[in-house]
Copies of this chain bind each other. A is one copy, B any other.
Amino acid sequence: MAKKILISDPTLRDGNHAVRHQLSREAFIAYCQAAEAARVPIVEVGHGNGLGASSMLVGECRLSDDEILTVSRQHLHNSRLGIHVIPGFCTIKKDLVRAIELGVDVFRIASHCTEADVTDRHIHYVRQAGKEAWGVLMMSHMASPAQLLEEARKMESYGAEAIVIMDSAGAYFPDDVKERIATLVDGLNIPVGFHGHNNLGMAVINSVTAVNEGATIIDGTIRGFGAGAGNTQLEVLVAVFERLGFDTGIDLYKILDAADIAEKEFNPVAPSISPLSIVSGLAGVFSGFAKPVARAAEDYKVDPRDIFFGLGKRNAVAGQESLIIEVARDLAEKNSAAQKG
């Protein structure tokens, strides 16, 4: 019998990054219907940064969390409804309580790859409410396989029923995935999943590699809609897994139809691998830094690509925008010293 793979589809969440969180009510309805028709098991929705993240700083979402969850729930019957939860953005009392009321099935509680501790209370809360909670480790290329296992074990101990590692910067090569997934599958008692980005053109093969190493959950978005160079392209995954003899339960023709529908409903065009996303992947830095990096490059008259590589060397993580100025200033000083010398 073909090995089963559980596909979780964050098109209506990670895809919101590609449109500055401006997905419309119509887009949610059209895509939920298309995904339901294609038998996509889990449809993840929301602001790009998850529940409670809509804000001036991170970007205001066109729809409120309540609107998104209500409209999505109305149009998903067999497909389960999932959300992305980053403690810090998402509060338990206000946001989680409401999401449970609105019928969310799968809560994916996420932290930076070395900070699983912050997910403790959220995971416990979801489990006590009788709902499904997963642990998600973001920017997972910044931790060694052993570190990742340690963090994942914490999440497991809090009650997480699955662990997904994210290649948020699209920095992985297949061998990196192999090592990490094998370590997690070996060391955990719960299913392991992989969420790829395509900065170096490796998202599909990285997902296949993850499955070959024992991962049973794979994330993918239609047409690759998602942050930066985009996510692993869902309809390609379905085709490739079908050819390789894995069972996703998704109808190939219907998921291809969903891609056509998304092409019409969503704006702008699907993500492609831009020069900056390649640099971001090579440097292992989240591509969300692109705008402040461009500003700093302008201010200090340095190459934005050098800033990205500088950030990579300093292991910059999301939120550390102050580092950008520091790196830019250092580069400018070096350049000026080189000119004088």
Contact = CB atoms under 8 A, between A and B. Distances in A.
Interface stretch (A20-28, A78-86, A132-140, A235-243): A235-243
A239 B305 contact: no
A281 B233 CA distance: 15
Interface in A259-286: 259-260, 269-270, 272-275, 278-279, 281-282
Contacts of A270: 272
A282 B202 CA distance: 19
Contacts of A240: 173, 200-202
Contacts of A272: 223-224, 269-270, 272
A11 to B, nearest CB: 15
A118 B148 CA distance: 57
Interface string A150-173: 000000000000000000000001
Contacts of A239: 200, 278, 281-282
A307 to B, nearest CB: 13
Number of copies: 2
A203 interface: yes
Interface in A99-156: none
A98 B244 CA distance: 48
A253 interface: yes
A256 B305 contact: yes
A174 interface: yes
Nearest to A204: B201
A275 B303 contact: no
B200 A202 contact: no
Interface of A: 173-174, 200-205, 223-224, 232-233, 235-236, 239-240, 243-244, 253, 256-257, 259-260, 269-270, 272-275, 278-279, 281-282, 303, 305
Given A173-B243, A201-B240, 13 more contacts: A200-B204, A200-B243, A201-B203, A201-B204, A224-B273, A235-B273, A235-B275, A235-B278, A236-B273, A243-B282, A256-B275, A256-B279, A269-B269
A-B CB proximity, top 8 nearest? A201-B204, A256-B275, A205-B205, A201-B236, A259-B275, A239-B278, A270-B272, A239-B282
18 contacts: A173-B243, A200-B239, A201-B203, A201-B204, A201-B236, A201-B240, A202-B204, A202-B205, A202-B240, A204-B205, A205-B205, A223-B273, A235-B278, A243-B282, A253-B305, A256-B275, A256-B279, A272-B272
